[in-house]
Amino acid sequence: MKVNKGVEWAAHACALLAVLPEGWTLSAEALAAYHDVPPAYMAKQMQALSSAGLVVSVRGAAGGYRLARPARDISLKDVFLAVEGAAPSFRCTEVRQNGPCGAAKAQCRKPCGIAASFYAAETAFRDSLAGVTIMDVVASASAASDLGKAAKIATWIQSNASRPGTER
Amino acid sequence: MKVNKGVEWAAHACALLAVLPEGWTLSAEALAAYHDVPPAYMAKQMQALSSAGLVVSVRGAAGGYRLARPARDISLKDVFLAVEGAAPSFRCTEVRQNGPCGAAKAQCRKPCGIAASFYAAETAFRDSLAGVTIMDVVASASAASDLGKAAKIATWIQSNASRPGTER
DNA sequence: CATTATTCGGATAAAAAATATCCGTAAACA
DNA sequence: TGTTTACGGATATTTTTTATCCGAATAATG
């Protein structure tokens, strides 16, 4: 059971978008450069975030991405579901219906105990992620870093982000 | 994020071993036939359960598998870890150390907020599974089935299980 | 003691999924 | 009109999962 790498990248991208000045955007290419990951694949993850409504995409020159809503209203569960999809991780193949003692289909309208337990565990997993917002992530990151780094990031944003509808 | 199929099979196999008379065993082949799954692959999962100490294997003619301890003392978490392995599902690639604003390695001794949150979520997942025992699974299955099925299973066990050290 | 049935471990093959890239199109701006 | 960017689909590559097979070890049986 492995979480897609894209989830990690998407989460970090959201954290960076969260500290962007109001109305500014970052292109997929800039986000990839910031995190030093493959640009084309980073772009794919951003598309997933976009179609899930977590970020807003701005096309055209000086376009890019920005968060669709405040960082406090976006959770890691949202990011996880956007990138990973909502399909349950446990795939019940109904083995109880198989073999010489297989149960009748009519008796299998509710999931078996094993499947139900895994569904419950996955709910616990998602609930745990739902309790962490992008704002929390940003806060913990800035708590762990010094003033010099914050300045570095601000400078990088200044020269790599853009504000659509206006000259940079 | 997908749970291996083998986890489901192994859990069902444990549930069947749980209703076996004391000291009896079921071969990997019999377990595969009962659940109508590929014998060689079922055998692999049983090996995993065996090396994790959840089941005891008996070699030789009339050999097979039996639970290593009471069904109430084996949880779905045990089965999950045995088959799936203990490696965390979230693989942090330390992207925070990458790129133009990468953090120094010395400042990354603790996991970042994102990684920590996913580790916590996985703990929640496992804790949830830890609360369900094979005994619980058997109980919920028998609650959902009728008397006829129980008799069917008992008959099947009679003719497919074996008791090492004695004639069947 | 030979035969048979079984687990064990490793090697290997096939299928599926994750990872990664590319390209044509549409949109927005200068 | 030209440039820059997101979008969506197609495709390639790599890794993981799924599945099979085989030889060695082990134990019961006749």
- In angstroms, the CA A45 to CA A25 distance is 16
Helix (H) or strand (E) holding B58: strand B55-58
Tokens (6 digits) for A7: 């989830």
What pLDDT does B144 receive? 87
What separation in angstroms does the CA of A157 have from each of A71, A135, A161?
A: 17, 18, 5
Burial (CB < 10 A; 0-12, 13-18, 19+), residue B112, is: buried
Report the residue of chain B nearest A32, measured CA to CA.
Answer: B99
Task: Please state the φ and ψ torsions of residue B133, each to the nearest 5 degrees.
Answer: -100, 165
**How many residues make up chain A in this entry?**
168
pLDDT single digits (tens) A3-61: 999 999 999 999 999 999 988 999 999 999 999 999 988 999 999 999 999 999 988 88
For chain A, how big is the Rg over CA atoms in Å? 21
- For chains A and B, CB pairs below 8 A equal 175
pLDDT single digits (tens) B119-152: 999 999 999 999 999 999 999 999 988 899 999 9
B29 nearest nt, CA–C1': C6
What pLDDT does A44 receive? 92
- In angstroms, the CA B114 to CA B108 distance is 13
Tokens (6 digits) for A116: 């139900």
Tokens (6 digits) for B42: 């079922």
What are the helix (H) ranges across chain B? Answer: 5-18, 28-35, 39-51, 76-84, 113-130, 134-143, 147-160
Mean pLDDT of chain B: 92
What pLDDT does A140 receive? 94
Judged by a CB distance cut-off of 8 A, whether residue A127 touches chain B is: yes
Query: Strand pairing partners for A26?
Result: A65
Scan residues 30-59 of B and list those with Cβ closer than 8 Å to A: 33-37
Q: Which residue is closest, via its CA, to the C1' of D18?
A: B41
pLDDT single digits (tens) B85-110: 999 999 999 999 988 887 888 888 89
Domains and CATH numbers, chain A: 5-86+133-160 (1.10.10.10)
Residue with tokens 């690639």: B93
Strand duo B64-67 + A64-67: pairing: unpaired
What pLDDT does B17 receive? 95
With CA atoms as reference, report the closest residue to A38 among B90, B99, B101: B99
User: A146 pLDDT band (50/70/90 cuts)?
Assistant: confident
The pLDDT of residue A150 is above 80: yes
What pLDDT does A165 receive? 64
Q: Do A33 and B128 touch (CB under 8 A)?
A: no
Scan residues 67-126 of B and list those with Cβ closer than 8 Å to A: 76, 84, 89-93, 95-96, 98-103, 107, 110, 112-118, 120-126
pLDDT single digits (tens) A82-138: 999 999 999 999 999 998 988 888 888 999 999 999 999 999 999 999 999 999 999
What pLDDT does B62 receive? 85
